[in-house]
A and B are shown apart, each in its own frame.
Chain A
Amino acid sequence: MIAPELKQKLSAIVGAEDVTEDEGVLSSWRSGGAVAGGEPAALVRPSSTAEVRALLKLAREEKLNLVFSSSAPPRLRGDSVPAGEGIMVDMSKMDRIVRLDRRNKVALIEPGVTFERLIPEADAAGLKVLMPLRPKRGKSVLASALEREPIIIPKYHWDMTDPMLCTELVFGSGDLFRTGSAAGPGSLEQQWAAGGAQKNPMGPAQTDFVRVVQGAQGTMAAVTWCTLKLEVKPTIHRIWFVPDRKLSRLSEFTYRSLRPKLADEWLILNSYALAALISEKGGEEVDALAQRQAPWTAVYGVSGYEYLPQERVAYQERDLARHAQAAGVVPSPEVAGCSWKGMERILSSPSPEPYYKTAPRGDFLDLFFLSTLDRVPAFLEIMEAEAERFSYPAQRIGAYIQPIQQGRNVHVEFTLYFRPADREMAQALFLSASRALSEAGAFFSRPYGPWAELAYARCPDTVAALRKVKAILDPDHVLNRGKLCFEAREVV
């Protein structure tokens, strides 16, 4: 509940119909991932950048805590669950695909654009959206890129900002700022008239504020649009599976193949993560399907484009076969329960509802961090030992390894699947394993919820510098208060 005067002020900005205190609407922000205890007091739905700026201005005057959110529920990470009381700013009404530019392979989108909206439009223009693995339905494309969710085609992940290019930001201070080549001079229309396409993610000048805003969980600025790099849609596309008993062989195959930028999609899954991904029915079927898989499976895609597509696919498949042979693994067009066509569909579309990770047991927790591929076995051992301590069956840990930055490092994701009644146990395991993994060198580069404390305890110098930047961009701490390292909690 908020004071009537405040409600009036919010209504004056976004319109009374876009301010609500309805618990049915607010409840999704009470908890998410490993985060609980959110107290969303009201929700506003701005429909323009001007309204967002006005909200920020009001927030500074009234010392509000604004928590921006763009995607539909469920809340998977807890970043938009307020730490204590907060006013939710739901950006999903700003949902225009402002521009889709085939020549320059770029889209300009607002926060409310979801994968299921963008994919068909890009497809019709001959373009492909760079996807994370099976995002939930209703997931904002902008928010996904903003949170540095890994994309599944490592060769297109040149740097951590990808696939996000330019952005329009409203800093916590209320100032408007555009990053990259969108910065201007000139309005977007003037830039388009001059041939500009907002393709260059860097700058303006000698800062890259887009990097500061990415991974910030909405603590530095609100993003009102972004440009997103797209790639050409292949004319031929095939998927291969490489099942194997040993992760070490698949790692070897991955290193050999990614170095020369072979293949498009590339990911590694353990049997349970693969089963959860391909299962159509969920529940018991996942366990049964998992038992029919090899302990580990690499999945990769090969594409041909406009010119000599057959030749491209042929050389890639030959080179990949050579690497497979050297690593002692064998590619196959199918695995139990999934053909390559089926996997192609899975990799190019969002999850059906309910979100696929809830299908095996009804609830789940993701535990993810960055590292290098050669260090993954050590983390696996820790995760399994932790599971054993909590009597969680090791065979039901999902493991997903996503090479990023063209194979220079990996996103490692462990998923715990459990019945809602077992949440307490799962959460205890999750916390204990997070701590153990952090101690063993897991880099929580996207430190949601309890990971913030673990991650920032390791880097006091980074904390000191981040706080200086926060003081510039959000001097009154009106953005997602209590997250990351900015308030209250003393860093040891």
Chain B
Amino acid sequence: MSETAAKTFGTISEEAYRDLEEAVGPENASREPGVLDGYAWQPTNNDHPTERWVKRPVAVVLPGSTAEVQAVVRACNRHGLKFKAFSTGWGVWCGPTYDNVVQVDLRRMNRILEIDEKNMYAVVEPYAIAAQIQAEVMKKGLNLHIHGSGPNCSPLASATSGWGVGHDSIYMSYSPRNVLGAEWVLPDGEVLRLGAPGSGLGWFSGDGPGPSLRGVMRGSAGALSGLGIFTKCALKLYNWPGPPRIETEGCLLDARSEIPENMGFYLCAFPDRASFLEAVLKMGEAEIGYNALRTATAAYLNVMTPRLFKRLTDTKAIRDLMGKTLEYTIMMVLAANSREELDYQAGSLLSIVEDAGGIALDMSTQKPFVRMALMGFVRATIPALVFRIGGSFNTALDRNDALDTQENWRDACLAIKEEWISKGGILDDMGDNPYYVPYENNMWAHCEVVYQFDHRKPEHRAALEPIFLDFTIAALEQCMEPMFSSDPRVRAIIGPLAGGFNRWQREVSKALDPGEAADSTLYCGEGAFDLSAVDGAKVKRLNELIEKLKPEA
């Protein structure tokens, strides 16, 4: 273990630890260094410039019920400790940021409590993972939104506390928009149930009476455990026109699934930006699509065959083919309840693509590909392969809005990435690596641009903070409050330019957490970028933008 990691050790008093043991039972608490280190190792999206460790928690507890979560939170309040929730733990966001944090690992709370087939929702606990819920609800002809980090993640964590974009968002929206009620252990240990469940009336509506506290629970990003711990939530379910069980042999890239008859798979490519945008807008208006995902063609090779990809990128003709000829592509997966509906969806898709001067490849004729990729779409199994090429990655999240803004974001990120690829600061993924989806029939859209790195390389580690600053400047250029504004450095810059949201979040935190028991750095902490090694012209531009975008007094 590195020296820095060793410095982050905090300790817990005997009395406090005894209280935690009492809260969850001795067998469900630990302060073994080896166990704690397991929680402090957080490779995902960890842009710490020197290594992958986050602060080590002082203890970890595994509550099995809401009452136990309350007892833990109360113990934290009593002993001046902080808590940090961990559902499936896929990312640096669930790691502690203080030296006195109790990690609340919710893996024992893994039940699907209710599936209301008629009214299309399921009530779940934090560690009910997407794959588990999907397998159950598909038996009833239903499905749930799975965000892009995949089936092993907690839908509750994203819906209540994280983000929640996925390539089914065109049909199944964004995780927080799917919440119909939640059970919330507040930072003082009290329980709050949002909406109808708060009145003991069932889990069908999460808003009211009167103002909706879902608006305090979270915004476009969640509070990342900074406002308490969610122990149950009701999630909307959606129609699934496929079979009750998708017969599949093998897994990931070796998977071979039976393809349901009423699905269609089209890779649509367009000659230029304008035709691409026009076509995607029309697809939204035609109200078609079950999955819609724009990634670079190169990204498929990047995640599926990383070694081959590294070799191919040296070949100019292949670079041109993937980077330029196939620059504007979108994968559309259709699913329909009847043959006639599928014909309508496919027919309008093909007409739209044709009118825009594009081409649509019917991938369902490419059986080996679709049989392998089906679960990648329907169960979001593929994105996790993004780790393969360099061992780590990060992503430039923007502000979701009209489709055009997302395209502008892609362009800006491409330029930033090209600069850093040429300087050797990140891996060469050919630059263009967006995860780009329309929401709700393209009511608005999302684009994040992934960049991959090898954290063993000092030059990659050194580049992480300056790249992040570049993306922050790009967001300002485009009047965006990016979804990564949960980062204290970004919050400090953008908050005052966007209604002072940083101030309002501090107020909310103060009101709900008088004992300051939540680890709330990612909710209201503020920090500063290290500008010492940043190009002077960039710092100047940052300051100009801050000045230009200052709200009128």
Seen from chain A, the residues whose Cβ lies within 8 Å of a Cβ on chain B are 103-105, 148, 158-160, 175-178, 181, 183-186, 190-191, 194-200, 202-217, 219-220, 229, 232, 255, 259-261, 305-308, 311-312, 314-315, 318-319, 322, 370-374, 405-409, 441, 443-447, 451-452, 455-456, 458-459, 461-462, 464-466, 468-469, 471-472, 484-485
**How close is B210's CB to chain A, nearest CB, in angstroms?**
5
Q: Are B476 and A185 in contact (CB under 8 A)?
A: yes
CB-based nearest A residue for B207: A160
Whether A469 and B499, one on each chain, are in contact in the complex, defined by CB atoms closer than 8 angstroms, is: no
Contacts of A261 on B, CB cut-off 8 Å? Answer: 239, 287
Task: Knowing A315-B340, A443-B205, A468-B511, say if A196 contacts B405 (CB, 8 Å).
Answer: yes
State whether B282 touches A409 (Cβ < 8 A): no
By Cβ-Cβ distance, the 10 closest A-B pairs, closest first, are A211-B215, A186-B479, A445-B208, A203-B220, A185-B497, A315-B340, A455-B209, A307-B348, A202-B220, A458-B199
A409's closest neighbor in chain B, by CB? Answer: B204
Please give the residue numbers on chain B whose beta carbons come within 8 Å of chain A beta carbons, in ascending order: 116, 118-121, 141, 173-174, 176-178, 180, 186, 190-196, 198-202, 204-216, 218-224, 226, 236, 239, 241, 281-282, 285-287, 337-338, 340-341, 343-344, 347-348, 351-352, 399-405, 407-408, 440, 443-444, 476-481, 485-486, 491, 494-495, 497-502, 504-505, 507-508, 511-512, 523, 549, 551
B504 touches A472 (CB 8 A): yes
The answer to whether B190 and A205 touch across the interface, beta carbons within 8 angstroms, is no
Q: Which residues of B contact A197 (CB under 8 A)?
A: 401-402, 404-405
Contact indicator A184/B549 (Cβ below 8 Å):
yes
Interchain Cβ contacts under 8 Å between A and B, 8 examples = A159-B177, A177-B504, A199-B443, A209-B215, A312-B348, A319-B340, A409-B204, A443-B201
B residues less than 8 Å from A468 (CB atoms): 511-512
Set A195, A213, A409, A465: member contacting B213, Cβ < 8 A:
A465
Cβ-closest chain B residue relative to A471: B511
A468 to B508, CA, bound (A): 8
Given contacts A194-B479, A205-B501, A372-B202, 13 further A-B contacts (CB under 8 A): A105-B285, A158-B443, A159-B173, A185-B481, A199-B443, A204-B499, A206-B486, A206-B505, A319-B338, A407-B119, A408-B180, A446-B209, A451-B209
Contact B286–A207 (Cβ < 8 Å): no
Complex-state Cα separation, A196 to B404, whole angstroms = 8
Would you call A190 and B549 a contact (CB within 8 A)? yes
A216–B241 alpha-carbon span in the complex (Å): 39
A213 to chain B, nearest CB (A): 7
Contacts of B193 in A (CB 8 A): 459, 461-462
Question: Contact: A207 with B219, CB < 8 Å?
Answer: yes
Which residues from chain A contact B286 at a C-beta distance below 8 Å?
305-308
Contacts of A259 in B (CB 8 A): 120, 141, 239
Bound CA span A14–B284, Å: 44
| Shortest Cβ gap from B352 to chain A (Å) | 6
Q: Are A308 and B344 in contact (CB under 8 A)?
A: yes
Contact A183 B207 (CB under 8 A): no
- Chain B nearest CB: distance from A176 CB in Å? 7
Q: Which of A260, A305, A407 has the most CB of B within 10 A?
A: A260
Q: B491 near A205 (CB under 8 angstroms)?
A: yes
Interchain CB contact under 8 A, B119 and A408: yes
Please, how many angstroms separate the alpha-carbon atoms of A186 and B552 in the complex?
10
Q: Which of A185, A315, A451 is the one whose CB lies under 8 Å from B498? A: A185
Given A232-B285, A311-B343, A444-B209, also A205-B495 (CB < 8 A): yes
**Distance A203 CA – B207 CA, assembled complex (angstroms):** 17
The distance in angstroms between the C-alpha atoms of A59 and B476, with both chains bound, is 36
Q: Which residues of the other chain, B, contact A206 by a CB distance below 8 angstroms?
A: 218-224, 226, 486, 501, 505, 523
Tell me the complex Cα distance, A484–B341, Å.
Answer: 46
Are the C-beta atoms of A200 and B401 separated by less than 8 Å?
Answer: yes
Neighbour of A461 across the interface among B192, B201, B404, B507, CB < 8 A = B192
Nearest-Cβ distance from residue B204 to partner chain A, whole angstroms: 5
Q: Is the CB of B508 within 8 A of A207?
A: yes
Contacts of A181 in B (CB 8 A): 399-401, 444, 480-481
Given the interface pairs A177-B499, A466-B211, the reply to whether A445 lies near B205 with Cβ below 8 Å is yes
Bound Cα distance A160, B206 (Å)? 9
A199 and B218 CA atoms in complex are apart in Å by 18
Residue on A nearest B119 in the bound complex, by CB: A372
The answer to whether B196 touches A158 (Cβ under 8 A) is: no
Asked, given contacts A305-B287, A443-B201, A462-B192, whether A205 binds B508 with beta carbons under 8 Å apart, the answer is no
Given contacts A196-B405, A232-B285, contact A183 B440 (CB under 8 A): no
Residues of B within 8 A of A208 (CB): 176, 214-215, 218-220
Q: A214-B211, A307-B352, A408-B204 are in contact. Are A196 and B219 (CB under 8 A)?
A: no
Q: Given A211-B207, A260-B239, A443-B205, A370 and B177 touching (CB < 8 A)?
A: no
Known: A185-B494, A199-B402. A319 touches B212 (CB 8 A): no
Give Cα A451–Cα B209 distance, bound, in whole angstroms: 10
Residue of B whose beta carbon sits closest to that of A197: B402
Whether the pair B199, A207 counts as a contact (CB closer than 8 A) is no
* Least CB distance, B36 to chain A, in whole angstroms: 28
Is there contact, CB below 8 Å, between B401 and A185? no
Q: Are A205 and B198 in contact (CB under 8 A)?
A: no
- Across the interface, do B481 and A184 meet the contact criterion of CB distance under 8 Å? yes
Are B119 and A373 in contact, CB atoms less than 8 angstroms apart?
A: yes
Within the complex, what minimum Cβ distance (angstroms) separates B499 from chain A? 4
How many Å lie between the Cα of A468 and that of B512 in the bound state?
Answer: 8
Q: Give the residue of B204, B207, B213, B344 whose beta carbon is less than 8 angstroms from that of A148.
A: B207
Contact in complex: A213, B205 (CB < 8 Å): no
State the CA gap A103–B281 with chains docked (Å): 8
> For the complex, what is the distance from the CA of A374 to the CA of B120, rounded to whole Å?
12
- Whether the pair B497, A184 counts as a contact (CB closer than 8 A) is yes
Contact B344–A312 (Cβ < 8 Å): yes
Tell whether, in the assembled complex, residue A409 and residue B119 are in contact, meaning their CB atoms are under 8 Å apart.
yes
Residues of A within 8 A of B178 (CB): 159
Distance between A377 CB and nearest chain B CB, rounded to angstroms:
14
Q: How far is the CA of A261 from the CA of B215 in the complex (A)?
A: 27
Q: How far is the CA of A84 from the CA of B440 in the complex (A)?
A: 44
Shortest distance between the CB of A221 and any CB in chain B (Å): 10
Most buried by A among B210, B341, B476: B210
Given contacts A184-B497, A204-B220, A205-B486, contact A408 B404 (CB under 8 A): no
User: Which residues on the B side are within 8 Å of A374 (C-beta)?
Assistant: 118-119
Contact between A207 and B210, CB atoms less than 8 A apart: no
- Contact check, B212 vs A209: say whether CB atoms are below 8 A apart: no
Q: Is the CB of A447 within 8 A of B204?
A: no
Which of B173, B344, B478 is the one whose CB lies under 8 Å from A194? B478
Contact, CB under 8 Å: A305 / B239 = no
**CA separation between A259 and B143, bound complex, in Å?**
11
Cα distance A273–B326 when bound, in Å? 56
Closest to A148 in B: B207
Chain A residues near B141 (CB, 8 Å)? 259
Complex Cα distance A308/B286, Å? Answer: 9
Task: Report A-chain residues with C-beta under 8 Å of the C-beta of B338.
Answer: 315, 318-319, 322
Q: Are B207 and A205 in contact (CB under 8 A)?
A: no
How far is A459 from B184 in the complex, measured between Cα atoms in Å? 14
Q: With a CB–CB cut-off of 8 A, which chain B residues contact A455?
A: 199, 208-210
Chain B nearest Cβ from A156, distance in angstroms: 9
**Do residues A198 and B347 form an inter-chain contact, with CB atoms below 8 A?**
no
Contact of A371 among B204, B408, B440, B494 (CB under 8 A): B204
Question: In the complex, which residues of chain A have a beta carbon less than 8 angstroms from the beta carbon of B408?
Answer: 194-195
Complex Cα distance A452/B210, Å? 8
Q: Which of A306, A319, A408, A485 has the most chain B CB within a 10 Å cutoff?
A: A408
Report the minimum CB–CB distance from B131 to chain A (whole Å): 22
- Whole-angstrom distance from the CB of A248 to the nearest CB of chain B? 12
Question: Which chain B positions have C-beta within 8 A of A159?
Answer: 173, 177-178
Task: Select one of A200, A209, A232, A466 contacting B504, CB under 8 A.
Answer: A209
**Which residues on A sit within 8 Å (CB–CB) of B194?**
462
A190-B549, A409-B119 are contacts. A443–B341 as well, Cβ < 8 Å?
no
Q: Which residue from chain B places its CB closest to the CB of A322 in the assembled complex?
A: B338
Contact A260 B192 (CB under 8 A): no
Q: How far is the CB of A185 from chain B (nearest CB, A)?
A: 4
